[in-house]
Chains A and B, each alone.
Chain A
Amino acid sequence: MSRVLLIEDDPAVREGVALALRRQNHDVDATATGEEGMDRLRAFRPDIVVLDLMLPGMTGLDVCRGIRAVDQTLPIIMATARGDEVDIVVGLEAGADDYVVKPVLARVLDARIRAVLRRAAGSTPGAEGLPKIDTYGDLTVDRSGLTVALNGEPIALAPSELRLLLTLSASPGQVFSRQQLLEAVWEHDYHGDARLVDACVKRLRTKMSEPPRASRFIHTVRGFGYRFAAQ
Chain B
Amino acid sequence: MRKRRLLGLRARLVVAFGLVAAVAAISAGALTFREARTGVLQQSQDATIRQLRAQLNQRAGELALPPDEPMLRKFAQGMAANESQGSWRVLVTYGDLSGSSVRGDPFPEVTPAVREAVGASKATVFQRVRDDGRTSLVVGMSILFGAPDGAATATGVRVFLVVPQTTEQAYVDALVTAVERAMVAALALAVVLALLAARGVLVPVRKLRLATRRIAEGRLDTRLAVNGSDELADLSHTFNETAAALETSVAELREMEARARRFAADVSHELRTPLAAMSAVTDILDEDAARLDPDTATAVRLISEETVKLARLVDDLMEISRFDAGAAVLHLDEIDLAESIRRTLASRGWTDTVATDLPPPHAVRGRVDPRRLDVVVANLVGNALKHGAHPVQVRLSAGDAGAVIEVRDSGPGIPHDVLPHVFERFYKSDTARIRSEGSGLGLSITAENVRIHGGTVRAADHPAGGAVFTVELPLWRDESHEENPSWNPS
- Residue in chain A with minimal CB distance to B347: A189
CB of A102 within 8 A of CB of B331, answer no
CB of B486 within 8 A of CB of A178, answer no
CB of A191 within 8 A of CB of B272, answer no
CB of A224 within 8 A of CB of B334, answer yes
One of B61-69, B159-167, B222-230, B279-287 contacting the partner: B279-287
Q: Would you give the 0/1 interface string for B358-377, flagging 1 where the beta carbon is closer than 8 Å to chain A?
A: 00000001010011011000
Q: Would you give the 0/1 interface string for A182-209, flagging 1 where the beta carbon is closer than 8 Å to chain B?
A: 0000000111111100100110010000
Q: Would you give the 0/1 interface string for B457-490, flagging 1 where the beta carbon is closer than 8 Å to chain A?
A: 0000000000000000000000000111111110
Query: Which residues in window 143-190 of A have CB below 8 A to B?
Result: 175, 177-179, 189-190
CB of A103 within 8 A of CB of B279, answer yes
5 A–B contacts, CB within 8 A, in A order: A16-B279, A19-B284, A193-B371, A212-B484, A224-B489
The answer to whether residues A213 and B486 also contact, given A103-B311, A105-B283, A106-B283 and a CB cut-off of 8 A, is: yes
Q: Report the Cα distance A219→B486, complex, angstroms.
A: 6
Partner pick for B284 among A12, A83, A106, A205, CB 8 A cutoff: A106
Q: Report the Cα distance A227→B488, complex, angstroms.
A: 11
Name the prevailing secondary structure of the B interface residues. helix
Q: How many A-B pairs with Cβ below 8 Å?
A: 136
Enumerate chain A residues within 8 angstroms of B276, measured Cβ to Cβ. 10, 13, 16-17, 102-104
B277 within 8 A of A: yes
CB of B318 within 8 A of CB of A83, answer yes
B308 within 8 A of A: yes
CB of B485 within 8 A of CB of A19, answer no
A-B CB proximity, top 5 nearest: A16-B280, A12-B277, A103-B279, A219-B487, A190-B343
Enumerate chain A residues within 8 angstroms of B365, measured Cβ to Cβ. 223
Q: Report the Cα distance A153→B392, complex, angstroms.
A: 58
CB of A220 within 8 A of CB of B274, answer no
Enumerate chain B residues within 8 angstroms of A12, measured Cβ to Cβ. 273-274, 277
B interface, how many residues as a size bin? 35 or more
Enumerate chain B residues within 8 angstroms of A102, measured Cβ to Cβ. 272-273, 276, 279
CB of A103 within 8 A of CB of B275, answer yes
Question: Measured between C-beta atoms, what is the minimum distance from B285 to chain A in Å?
Answer: 10
Q: Report the Cα distance A13→B333, complex, angstroms.
A: 34
Question: Measured between C-beta atoms, what is the minimum distance from B332 to chain A in Å?
Answer: 9
Partner pick for A104 among B279, B319, B482, CB 8 A cutoff: B279
Q: Would you give the 0/1 interface string for A1-24, flagging 1 where the beta carbon is closer than 8 Å to chain B?
A: 000000000101101110110010
CB of A82 within 8 A of CB of B318, answer yes
- Residue in chain B with minimal CB distance to A20: B280
Enumerate chain A residues within 8 angstroms of B488, measured Cβ to Cβ. 221-222
Question: Measured between C-beta atoms, what is the minimum distance from B449 to chain A in Å?
Answer: 12
Name the prevailing secondary structure of the A interface residues. mixed
- Residue in chain A with minimal CB distance to B342: A190
CB of A222 within 8 A of CB of B340, answer no
Enumerate chain A residues within 8 angstroms of B487, measured Cβ to Cβ. 215, 219-222, 227, 229
Q: Report the Cα distance A85→B325, complex, angstroms.
A: 14
Q: Report the Cα distance A6→B488, complex, angstroms.
A: 43
B170 within 8 A of A: no
Enumerate chain B residues within 8 angstroms of A83, measured Cβ to Cβ. 318, 322, 327
B315 within 8 A of A: yes
Q: Report the Cα distance A105→B283, complex, angstroms.
A: 7
Query: Which residues in window 310-354 of B have CB below 8 A to A?
Result: 311, 314-315, 318-319, 322, 327, 329, 331, 333-335, 339-340, 343-344, 347
Q: Report the Cα distance A224→B366, complex, angstroms.
A: 10
Query: Which residues in window 7-61 of A have CB below 8 A to B?
Result: 10, 12-13, 15-17, 19-20, 23
A107 within 8 A of B: yes
Question: Measured between C-beta atoms, what is the minimum distance from B418 to chain A in Å?
Answer: 30
Q: Report the Cα distance A65→B339, complex, angstroms.
A: 37
Interface core residue of B279, B318, B339 (most chain A CB under 10 Å): B279
CB of A191 within 8 A of CB of B340, answer yes
Q: Report the Cα distance A104→B315, complex, angstroms.
A: 11
CB of B486 within 8 A of CB of A191, answer no
- Residue in chain B with minimal CB distance to A224: B334
Enumerate chain A residues within 8 angstroms of B347, measured Cβ to Cβ. 189-191
Q: Report the Cα distance A189→B370, complex, angstroms.
A: 11
Q: Report the Cα distance A156→B113, complex, angstroms.
A: 140
CB of A16 within 8 A of CB of B331, answer no
Q: Report the Cα distance A80→B311, complex, angstroms.
A: 15
Enumerate chain A residues within 8 angstroms of B314, measured Cβ to Cβ. 103
Question: Measured between C-beta atoms, what is the minimum distance from A107 to chain B in Å?
Answer: 5
Q: Report the Cα distance A201→B343, complex, angstroms.
A: 24
Partner pick for A213 among B280, B282, B344, B484, CB 8 A cutoff: B484
